[in-house]
Amino acid sequence: MHTVGIVIKRNKDLALEVGAELVQWLRQRQVEAVFGEELARVIPGTAVTRKPDIPRLADIIVVLGGDGTLLSIARLINDRDVPILGVNLGGLGFLTAITLDELYAVMEDILARRYEVSRRMMLTARVYRQQELITSYNVLNDVVINKGALARIIELETTIDHRYLTTFKADGLIISTPTGSTGYSLSAGGPVVYPTLDSIVLAPICPHTLTNRPLLLPPDVTVETVLTSEGGDVFLTLDGQVGFSLQQNDLVTITRATHDINIKLIKSPTKDYFEVLRTKLKWGERYA
């Protein structure tokens, strides 16, 4: 293990403090650390690494923050085979399952190469306008098409492998990975899917037709949906962080990302996925 990338949650003092301590801890073990400008400001005399360059330079990446911080770096991995350790600094975290108290014990195991990873599939979303590809994104959690606050119900003509499924009349549509099944998709009534399975979840948001229900699809299908309704603000949102404005007749295609593009999350040595579910979703608890 030669180089560790460190990504911290922006504007969070605890992340800065822990990041600076981790850099010193790594240096004492002759391990190089690469990190961005915010952390470099509190460690004088260190070089700044652009966030998009961290996956290229690092052997592993440590994320100090929450799931959103981890998602932001996951989209930059591309075909780099770089494991990610997510350290939860507070809030709800399904991806950042390591606690701060566990950090250095887990890091000792990582430096000794005693760790396991959980491989997660990603999706690629492409937008075509007048048959021309205008943008493309890779996501770990989900692709969401939804209307603005004041827009009317939108219509999304949807096909699976070029076979007509239905025209959703709804507030929107969520296309999720198993990893993202515990996010927005869950709020829309979608199933919890074990994260290492290969599948795609299709979940309408507040559908006008009550018989529309979430649909679990095999991983290698192509989902295509066309915005057929007129007027109103409609947006494509990627992992809840990147937004793109859609126009009438825009075509959005969603496929599994190439097999070279997947995310390797370092597993917690002290708890499994089912314990995370029980803890985060409070399963089994009684309410007064």
Q: Would you name the residues annotated as active-site residues? A: 67
> How far is the C-alpha of 117 from the C-alpha of 40, rounded, in Å?
29
Task: Quote the tokens at residue 135.
Answer: 């943008």
> How far is the C-alpha of 115 from the C-alpha of 1, rounded, in Å?
13
Task: Quote the tokens at residue 251.
Answer: 């075509």
Give the SS3 label for residue 206: coil
Task: Quote the tokens at residue 94.
Answer: 């399904």
Residues 143/148/153/154 CA torsion (nearest 10 deg): -50
Question: In this structure, is the dihedral angle defined by the CA atoms of residues 33, 35, 38 and 40, taken in order, positive or negative?
Answer: positive
3-state secondary structure 133-174: EEEEEEECCEEEEEECCCCCCEEEEEEECCEEEEEEEECEEE
8 Å CB contact between 178 and 119: no
8 Å CB contact between 227 and 145: yes
Residues 6+ apart with CB under 8 A from 91: 66
Q: Where are the alpha helices (DSSP H) in the chain?
A: 13-27, 37-40, 54-57, 67-74, 103-111, 184-187, 273-281
